[in-house]
Amino acid sequence: MAVNPFTYGNPISDPARFFGREREIEQVFSRLRNAEFESSSLVGERRVGKTSLLNYLSHPDVRRRFGLDPEKYIFVYVDLQMVDKDTTPARLWQRILRQMARFCQDAGVKQTIEELRQQEPIDNFALADLFDSIDGKGQYVVFLLDEFENVTENSNFGPDFFYGLRSLAIHHNLSLITSSRRELIELCHSDAIRSSPFFNIFANINVGVFAESEARQLIAQSLEGTGVSFSESEVGAVFGLAGRHPYFLQAACHFLFEAYAKNLAPEERIRFLNKEFYEEAAPHLEDYWHNSSDQEKIVLTVLALLERLGRANGRTFRVGQLQEYYARSDQTLSNLEKRGLVASVAEEYALFCSTLGDWVVGEITHAPTDAQSYEDWLQSNQGALERLSARAKSEIGALLPRIAGKYRDLVIDWVSDPKNLIAVAGLLRGVLGMG
């Protein structure tokens, strides 16, 4: 059998294996082609494909197809995962300049870059002189700064760094394309950075889950020539488990292809897929959850519990339905949708995949191995229940022992709003089998 065409460990580097993102690609190149040579900020959750998108944008064939001559436009990719608490602006500039020298075709400019790299410190005037020479040669530079939050959140990078970088971008042939988990202005280590005009030069471009047509194209084209064809019911099972999230979609398809390689029967293939996929997905779902606000966790929990109880036609729910269980749902759904954790169809919302719902229900409900008994928790949280009205205590008191200890405070805060109390208590009783 052919080699498994579905990969999910490393970013996509071959443009032939890159799917979707047509809108995002056109937005970036449109801003690069305009007279101001403008910057863009790619925003999306981890594993949603931001690095693969940066790789695609920087490929010479892709640049040429979108009207940017690779001889004239220098694209410099910098992986900022390596930025740590000891990294200084000078060290980062040395890294960026080293990458610029690698891709620069002009011998004179390349020599200027190499000389600047040796300076200590590298000041903004010297950088401006460098970009003056690049401008004079009619060349353009694009910095692809992956995981840029590692810079904005680093206290070594003060306002001077961001003012200097902004000045280079607005006065010279320099454009910045950053990637980050959240909008950059939300990921600053100080108010001084947050208020910097640096962030005004970017257009935020959300990188979310695929459209269904893009997801189906990925599956169909990847299977071409392999001798394997997934049935429609198997594709449906993949979408149920993984949604249209690129990473999870690739992983689910990988395991289903492996099931074919093992010559498993149809029912065994699905069992194999379910088991292997959940083990792969769980750590990433945990990361998404722990990087969510309390409000986001509550909305995710509402959707997971409603889905578990099957309280809708399918898996989607209207905002009005969700507000019965959490009054501020509408304020939170847009953030979750931008993050790709919630998908919307015709003004109805659902978790991006059923696996997330299963994980959330398992996370918040009490497990026999819970290290902290309810009695111990009461001893160390004596004032917790005092935040509840007598009615709330009556409705929720018997349920709290069945909630995992680390989420009891969250549930208490949730039901302290009397508008949600009865509906939430009924929802929890149904899922916990205490109806």
Question: For residue range 395-431, what is the model confidence (pLDDT) as tens digits?
Answer: 888 899 889 988 999 999 999 888 889 999 999 999 9
314 and 275 within one domain: no
pLDDT at 376: 84
Q: Is the pLDDT of residue 23 over 80?
A: yes
Residue 204's φ and ψ, nearest 5 degrees, are -75, 125
Look at phi and psi of residue 197 and say left if phi exceeds 0, alpha if psi is from -120 to 50, else beta. alpha
In a domain, 13, yes or no: no
In a domain, 4, yes or no: no
186 and 224 within one domain: no
Q: CB 191: neighbour CB atoms within 10 A? A: 8
Rounded mean pLDDT of 62-67? Answer: 96
226 and 164 within one domain: no
* Structural domain boundaries, residue 200: 21-206
Q: Is the pLDDT of residue 202 over 90?
A: yes
* Cα–Cα distances in angstroms (integers) from residue 20 to residues 28, 187, 404, in the given order: 14, 27, 40
* Gap between the Cα atoms of 304 and 220, Å rounded: 30
Share of the chain above pLDDT 90, in %: 75
> Apex CA 142: angle with CA 174 and CA 136, to 5°?
45
In a domain, 7, yes or no: no
238 and 137 within one domain: no
Q: Which of 257, 283, 309 is the last residue of a domain?
A: 283
Name which of 376, 299, 379, 372 is nearest 339 in CA terms.
299
In a domain, 239, yes or no: yes
pLDDT at 59: 96
Under the banding of pLDDT at 50, 70 and 90, the label for residue 213 is: very high
* Gap between the Cα atoms of 87 and 429, Å rounded: 51
pLDDT at 236: 95
pLDDT at 417: 86
Rounded mean pLDDT of 188-208? Answer: 90
In a domain, 426, yes or no: yes
pLDDT at 197: 92
Helical ranges in 291-327 per DSSP H: 294-309, 319-323
pLDDT digits (tens, 9 = 90+) for 360-401: 999 998 665 555 688 888 888 878 888 888 888 888 888 998
pLDDT at 312: 46
351 and 322 within one domain: yes
* Cα–Cα distances in angstroms (integers) from residue 204 to residues 135, 141, 251, in the given order: 26, 20, 28
In a domain, 357, yes or no: yes
* Gap between the Cα atoms of 40 and 176, Å rounded: 6
200 and 75 within one domain: yes
162 and 55 within one domain: yes
Domain with residue 126: its CATH number is: 3.40.50.300
DSSP 3: P
* Gap between the Cα atoms of 96 and 108, Å rounded: 18
pLDDT digits (tens, 9 = 90+) for 351-360: 999 999 999 9
Highest average pLDDT, of 97-106, 140-149, 319-328, 412-421, comes from: 140-149
pLDDT at 387: 83
Rounded mean pLDDT of 111-116? Answer: 91
128 and 100 within one domain: yes
Determine the residue type at 218. Answer: L
In the chain, % helix, strand, coil (3-state, to 5) comes to: 60, 10, 30
Bridge partners of residue 43, in order along the sequence:
180, 206
* Gap between the Cα atoms of 378 and 383, Å rounded: 8
pLDDT at 378: 83
* Cα–Cα distances in angstroms (integers) from residue 413 to residues 62, 295, 384, 392, in the given order: 51, 10, 9, 11
Kindly report the length of the chain: 435
Q: How many domains does the chain have?
A: 3
Yes or no: say if 369 and 395 are a contact pair by the CB < 8 Å rule. Answer: no
Q: Which of 160, 190, 206 is the last residue of a domain?
A: 206
Residues ≥6 apart with Cβ < 8 Å to 290? none
233: Cα within 13 Å, side-chain hemisphere: 4
pLDDT at 366: 66
315 and 278 within one domain: no
Q: Is the pLDDT of residue 244 over 90?
A: yes
Q: Is the pLDDT of residue 7 over 90?
A: yes
pLDDT at 97: 95
Q: With 0.85 as the threshold, say if the pTM is over it.
A: yes
pLDDT at 311: 55
Residues ≥6 apart with Cβ < 8 Å to 72? 138, 139, 140
Q: Which of 178, 206, 234 is the last residue of a domain?
A: 206
In a domain, 5, yes or no: no
Which of 244-253, 289-298, 311-320 shows the lowest per-residue confidence on average (mean pLDDT)?
311-320
173 and 77 within one domain: yes
In a domain, 365, yes or no: yes
* Gap between the Cα atoms of 204 and 202, Å rounded: 6
* Gap between the Cα atoms of 376 and 378, Å rounded: 5
200 and 224 within one domain: no
* Average pLDDT of every residue of the chain: 92
307 and 172 within one domain: no
